[in-house]
Chain A
Amino acid sequence: MIIPTAPVRARTDLIMRGLCWAAMALALVPLISLLYLVVSKGLHRFDLDFFMHVPRPVGIPGGGMANALVGTLVLVLIASLFGMPIGVAAGLYLAEFGGGRFASAVRFWADVLTGVPSIVTGIFAYDILVKPMHSFSALAGGFALGTMMIPIIARITEEVVRLVPVSLREAALALGIPKWKSIIHVVLRTAMSGVATGLFLGATRVASETAPLLFTSFNNQYWNTSLGQPTASMTVQIFTYAISPYEEWRDMAWTGALVLLIIVLLASLASRLTLSKNRGANL
């Protein structure tokens, strides 16, 4: 005999499941609205001028964000130059020698550092580089971003390197290869696409940062000729244009947002695909 579920319980079940789905639907509304508006408003100025020219004063048509695009690239390059090697090395340490108390402490502080508000990193870079150099500079901005990169990349590297099967390491050791060589040539090589994805992810993460750049790389309406100079970046330029009172500058802010969003979403999608492919291959 089948005893039917009491109506109250059945109703509660239905209501609670419905609420969960409703929350899901509700969360999609702002996402869709944001995507739709960034695309529709951004297309307004999505033209060749935008990618070819530096900003122009209000009233003169045809200004662009070319210098900010290059500026963001330069900042991320500076950040990558020291953030990536240190991050990968730290991640390798955690994956290969990470059993002890020291490694747990490193993991813990990496998590804390990832959670620190990015604007605080900006103050740190300001104190260390901008104050002594007496100038906002691309170097200071890059330093702030690189600092943020290290813990992010370290944790992703650790994760993907750990996926390398022990049997591979054993095979390398059985051939008489020293451990350090087997880590570089066998372990790291096997995990390379995963590590590369992590680097890529770290780079896009910091490229979308604004707060740490406000008073490190500052902003610049012209082409930058030296790393010791203030430098424009996509994010700071979007911010500057968004809070300006001019309609044409606000249009530019939306277009800047569109370009930035395309970069970030493509990166997110690409890394998702490689990471899941990687996991599948190793499992």
Chain B
Amino acid sequence: MTGSAPVNSAKNDTIGAIKAGPGGFAPGLGAVRNPGDKIFRAILAAAAASIPLLAFAILAMLFVSSLPVLNQTGIYFFVRKEWDPVAQQFGALAFAYGTLMTSLIALLVAAPAGVGIALAITEFSPLKAREWAAWIVETLAAVPSVIFGLWGLFVLAPFLHQYVDPLLMRVPGKPFFAGPDTGLSLFTAGMVVAIMILPTVMAVCREVFNAVPNSLRESALALGSTRWEAVRLAVLAPSMPGIIGAVILAMGRALGETMAVTMVIGNAPQIVSNLLGPADSLASAIANQFTEATSDMHLSALTALGFLLFGITMVLNIVARLLVWAVARRMQHVAVK
């Protein structure tokens, strides 16, 4: 499978079951040119070009709008702790810390759970149930984040505060659970986000696991391995880059999650090791303060937080896509051989 995609699709297809590869028509078709073709193609190409243009426009616009604060504090903006709109002192560190910690907590919970669920669906459940089970878990992804926030604020936060946090405070793993316990906290935000990114981890892992050819599983089973050993050797091991890709993709979602975090994180821009105390994240700071910002500098600082968020999620997305693609390509090799 070294040739370009359209060539492959033409080679592998049989009459009757021909499907379009990327490139739509099989190569050589439509060779007779019609003047309308060029115009039509140009219109479609312009629409397609709007997508990268939009991305650059957003990046450029955010950068220009954050210039005032970057001129004032320089690159140190990203490593300063102070955030005092009244004194016009701005730094992103406290928010970056909040964003990072909530995402980390969320990943620690959602990554293993998501992989496990994906395995349960693709490897262990009956064929007919797979599609629907996947649909149910993926439906979680369609629930608007403001509803997760509402549920987190009135259901999950009180529940954690009353039952889970007291247990955590007995854990000798201080200072993370040292208290005081405010209910609306980094920990609560992390748990809500964990539930929200679970479908992402699960959906991508499912895709990756499904790409593993059955011959691998069968070889493992034929050698006398148990179901789990077959899964570990034939499914999990070759899928590792894809799983990492799924986790990174989910991390991108976690970092950018706004509404649910805003509602349960407690909104206090501070860097403390106590996970049961209030904090603030990049996205929630923007959501909370943007309409209330009184000075241009404050607005610019908030935009700079958005710029930072965009940058981080963009890099994460790029890395994740590359990993998922790499796995898919490798599986194709295995399947052909």
**Partner-B contacts on A (CB < 8 A):** 3, 5, 9-10, 12-13, 16-17, 19-24, 26-28, 30-31, 33-34, 37-38, 85-87, 89-90, 92-99, 102-103, 105-106, 108-113, 115-124, 126-128, 147, 150-151, 154, 161-167, 169-170, 173, 178-181, 183, 187, 204-205, 208-211, 214-215, 218, 235, 238-239, 242-243, 250, 253-254, 257, 260-261, 264-265, 267-268, 272, 276
B1 is an interface residue with CB less than 8 A from chain A? no
Are the CB atoms of A238 and B286 closer together than 8 Å? no
- Is the CB of B55 closer than 8 A to any CB of chain A? yes
Provide the bound-state CA to CA distance between A34 and B299, in Å.
Answer: 35
B214 to chain A, nearest CB (A): 18
State in angstroms the CA–CA spacing of A236 and B123 once bound together.
41
B95 CB to closest chain A CB (Å) equals 13
Contacts of A19 in B (CB 8 A): 116
Kindly state whether residue B135 has any CB partner on chain A within 8 Å.
yes
Given contacts A169-B24, A268-B142, contact A97 B45 (CB under 8 A): yes
By the criterion CB–CB under 8 Å, are B51 and A211 in contact? Answer: no
Give 29 CB contacts A-B under 8 Å: A5-B224, A12-B228, A20-B116, A22-B116, A23-B112, A28-B136, A31-B140, A38-B147, A97-B45, A98-B22, A99-B4, A102-B49, A108-B318, A109-B52, A112-B314, A115-B252, A117-B255, A120-B58, A150-B50, A154-B51, A161-B20, A166-B26, A173-B29, A208-B144, A210-B144, A210-B259, A211-B145, A214-B291, A238-B150
Bound: A86/B39 CA distance, A: 16
Measured between alpha carbons, how far is A90 from B142 in the docked complex, in Å? Answer: 24
Which residue of chain B has the shortest Cβ distance to A164 in the bound complex?
Answer: B20
Could you say which residues of chain A place their CB within 8 Å of the CB of B136?
28, 31
Cβ-defined contact, B135 with A97, below 8 A: no
One of B11-19, B69-77, B84-92 contacting the partner = B11-19
B57 lies within 8 A of chain A by Cβ: yes
**In contact, A20 and B287 (Cβ under 8 angstroms):** no
Residue of B nearest to A85 (CB): B47
Task: Check B218 for interface membership: any CB of A closer than 8 A.
Answer: no
Q: Which of B151, B224, B249 has the most CB of A within 10 A?
A: B151
Contacts of B212-230 to chain A: CB distance below 8 A: 224, 226-229
CB distance from A32 to the nearest CB of B (A): 10
**Contact between chains at A124 and B62 (CB < 8 Å):** yes
Task: Give Cα A38 to B55, complex, Å.
Answer: 36
Across-interface contacts of B228 in A (CB, < 8 A): 12-13, 16-17
The contact string, 1 if C-beta is below 8 Å from chain A, for chain B 113-134, is 1101101110110000001010
Determine whether the beta carbon of A235 is less than 8 Å from that of B50. Answer: no
Residues of B within 8 A of A209 (CB): 144
Bound-state Cα–Cα, A189 to B140, Å: 32
Checking B22, B120, B229 against A13 with a beta-carbon cut-off of 8 angstroms, the contacting residue is B229
A3's nearest neighbour on chain B, judged by CB, is: B224
The reply to whether A113 and B44 contact each other, CB–CB distance below 8 Å, is no
A119, A187, A253, A267 interface centre (most CB from chain B within 10 Å):
A119
| A-B contact sample (5 more), CB < 8 A, given A115-B252, A210-B259 | A12-B228, A34-B155, A99-B5, A99-B23, A167-B15
Interface residue from B6, B49, B231 paired with A106 (Cβ < 8 Å)? B49
Q: Which residues of B contact A210 (CB under 8 A)?
A: 144-146, 258-259
Q: Which residue of A lies closest to B142 (CB)?
A: A268
- In B292-311, which residues have CB < 8 Å from any A CB? 302-303, 306, 309-310
Chain B residues in 8 Å Cβ range of A97? 23-24, 41, 44-45
Q: Across the interface, which residues of A come within 8 angstroms of B290, CB to CB? A: 122-123, 126, 214-215
Q: Tell yes or no: B256 within 8 A of A by CB.
A: yes
List which B132-178 residues lie within 8 A (CB) of chain A.
Answer: 133, 135-137, 139-140, 142-151, 153-156
Q: CB distance A27 to B113 under 8 Å?
A: yes
Residue ID in chain A nearest B291 by CB atoms: A215
B46 contacts which chain A residues (CB < 8 A)?
Answer: 89
Residues of chain B lying within 8 A (CB to CB) of residue A178: 34, 36-37
C-alpha gap A179/B256 in the complex (Å): 42
The answer to whether A17 and B124 have CB atoms under 8 Å apart is yes
Contacts of A208 in B (CB 8 A): 142-146
CA distance A101 to B6 in the complex (A): 13
- A93 touches which of B44, B65, B135, B263 (Cβ 8 Å): B44
- 7 nearest interchain CB pairs? A117-B256, A89-B47, A208-B144, A180-B40, A23-B116, A178-B34, A96-B24
Please give, as numbers and ranges, the residues of chain A lying within 8 Å of B48 by CB-CB distance: 89-90, 93-94, 102-103, 106, 154
Does any Cβ of A come within 8 Å of B321's Cβ?
A: yes
Q: Give the distance to chain B from A76, nearest Cβ to Cβ, in Å.
A: 13
Q: How far is the CA of A247 from the CA of B45 in the complex (A)?
A: 53
The distance from the CB of A277 to the nearest CB of chain B, in whole angstroms, is 13
- Checking B36, B259, B263, B317 against A115 with a beta-carbon cut-off of 8 angstroms, the contacting residue is B317
In the assembled complex, how far is the CB of residue A201 from the closest CB belonging to chain B, in whole angstroms?
A: 9
Instruction: Report chain B residues within 8 Å CB of A87.
Output: 47
Residues of chain B within 8 A (CB-CB) of A164 are: 20
Q: How far is the CB of B57 from chain A (nearest CB, A)?
A: 7
Taking CB atoms, residues of chain A closer than 8 Å to B156 are 30
Bound Cα distance A124, B140 (Å): 28
Closest B residue, CB atoms, query A106 = B48
Say yes or no: A260-B256 contact (C-beta < 8 A), given A90-B44, A111-B317, A166-B19. Answer: no
Q: Which residue of B lies closest to A31 (CB)?
A: B140
Contact partners of B243 in chain A: CB under 8 A: none
Neighbouring A residues of B144 by C-beta, 8 Å: 208-210, 235, 260-261, 264
Are B24 and A98 neighbours in the complex by a CB distance under 8 Å? yes
Partner of A112, one of B45, B55, B231: B55
